[in-house]
C-alpha cells in the first residue's frame, strides 16, 4: 500500500464545505506546504479546527486571509488581525474554545469517547448552553468530541507506513488530530523506509495516516 502521494493528489480530497483540522501552534508544527496548496486550490466554505489562526502570513491564518473559512473553531485568534475583522463583520463564525478543552475534544473524537467533563470554563461564557454535572461536589462542563473530514498534520521523520517522529514542540495538536479525521494527510520533513524508525520512538502510529506528502529531504 503506497501512501506517498503528490501534494496535489493529497489535497484533491478536500472539497468545498468540508470540516478540516490543521495541526500546529502559531505555525510551529503546521503543514505549511499543504496549507499553501490549499490556498492555491481555493476550496471554500471550510470549517477549520485548529489551535489558533496563526499569523496572516504564517500557518492556517493564510486560509483565513484568503477567505476560505466559513467557521473557525480555535482557542486563540489574537495574532491574526484578519480573523477578528472577518468575525466582527459577521463574515466568518468563530467559536473560541479553551485550549485544553479543544485538545481533549479532538482526543475524544479520535478515541471513541462521547465527551468528557472538565472544570475549565465553569462560571464563564464558555459554560453557556452546556450541561453541568456535579461529581463529588465539584462542578464540571460536559464537552463533546470533535471530528473532521480531513486532518492535515506535520511530522518530522515519517516512514513509508506513516509512523511519525516529531521534533521539538511540534507535536501539539498533530498527534491528536491524526486520530480524529476520516482522512489523515501528513506532511513529512523527511520520508524514510519502514524499519528506519525505532518503534520505541514512534509517537503517532502509522495506522492513523492515509497519505504522506514529502519530503523536504
Partner 1 sequence: MDKKEFIARRVAKELKDGDVVNLGIGLPTMVANHVPEGINVYFQSENGFIGLGPAPEEGNEDPYIVNAGAQCVTILPGGAFFDSSTSFGIIRGGHVDITVLGALQVDEKGNLANWMIPGKMVPGMGGAMDLVTGAKKVIVAMEHTVKGNHKILKECNLPLTAAGEVNLIITEMGVIEVTDKGLVLKEINPEYTIEEVQAATEAELIIDENLKKMEI
* Binding interface with partner 1 (CB under 8 A): 25-29, 51-52, 74-79, 84, 87, 96, 98-104, 106-107, 118-126, 156, 166-176, 203
* CA-angle at 186, arms to 148 and 175, nearest 5°: 65
Q: Is 195 left (phi over 0), alpha (psi -120 to 50) or beta?
A: left
Q: Which is nearer to partner 1, 17 or 119 (CB)?
A: 119
Smallest distance, partner 1 to C-beta of residue 9, A: 27
Q: Which is nearer to partner 1, 19 or 118 (CB)?
A: 118
Alpha carbon 197 to its chain's center: 24
Smallest distance, partner 1 to C-beta of residue 37, A: 21
Smallest distance, partner 1 to C-beta of residue 125, A: 5
3-state secondary structure of 145: coil
- What whole-number distance in Å separates Cα of residue 170 and Cα of residue 154? 8
Alpha carbons within 13 angstroms on the beta-carbon side of residue 161 total 12
Q: Which is nearer to partner 1, 84 or 149 (CB)?
A: 84
Cell, residue 29 = 508544527
Q: N- to C-terminal Cα distance for the chain? A: 22
- What whole-number distance in Å separates Cα of residue 85 and Cα of residue 103? 25
- What whole-number distance in Å separates Cα of residue 145 and Cα of residue 12? 26
Q: Which is nearer to partner 1, 193 or 217 (CB)?
A: 217
Q: Which is nearer to partner 1, 37 or 141 (CB)?
A: 141
Smallest distance, partner 1 to C-beta of residue 76, A: 4
Smallest distance, partner 1 to C-beta of residue 196, A: 20
Amino acid at each position: 500500500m503506497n501512501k506517498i502521494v503528490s501534494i496535489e493528489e493529497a489535497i484533491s480530497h478536500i472539497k468545498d464545505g468540508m470540516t478540516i483540522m490543521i495541526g500546529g501552534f502559531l505555525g510551529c508544527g503546521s503543514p505549511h506546504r499543504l496549507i499553501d496548496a490549499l490556498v492555491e486550490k481555493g476550496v471554500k466554505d471550510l470549517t477549520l479546527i485548529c489551535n489558533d489562526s496563526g499569523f496572516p502570513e504564517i500557518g492556517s491564518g493564510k486560509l483565513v486571509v484568503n477567505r476560505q473559512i466559513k467557521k473557525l473553531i480555535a482557542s486563540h485568534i489574537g495574532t491574526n488581525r484578519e480573523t477578528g475583522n472577518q468575525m466582527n463583520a459577521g463574515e466568518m463564525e468563530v467559536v473560541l474554545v479553551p485550549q485544553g478543552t479543544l485538545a481533549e475534544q479532538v482526543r475524544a473524537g479520535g478515541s471513541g469517547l462521547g465527551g468528557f467533563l472538565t472544570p475549565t470554563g465553569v462560571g464563564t461564557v464558555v459554560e453557556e448552553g452546556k450541561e453541568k454535572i456535579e461529581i463529588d461536589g465539584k462542578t464540571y462542563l460536559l464537552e463533546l468530541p470533535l471530528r473532521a473530514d480531513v486532518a492535515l498534520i506535520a511530522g518530522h521523520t515519517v516512514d513509508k507506513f506513516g509512523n511519525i517522529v516529531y521534533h521539538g514542540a511540534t507535536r501539539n495538536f498533530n498527534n491528536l488530530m491524526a486520530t480524529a479525521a476520516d482522512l489523515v494527510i501528513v506532511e513529512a520533513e523527511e520520508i524514510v523506509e519502514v524499519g528506519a524508525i525505532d518503534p520505541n520512538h514512534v509517537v503517532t502510529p502509522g495506522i492513523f495516516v492515509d497519505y504522506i506528502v514529502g519530503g523536504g529531504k
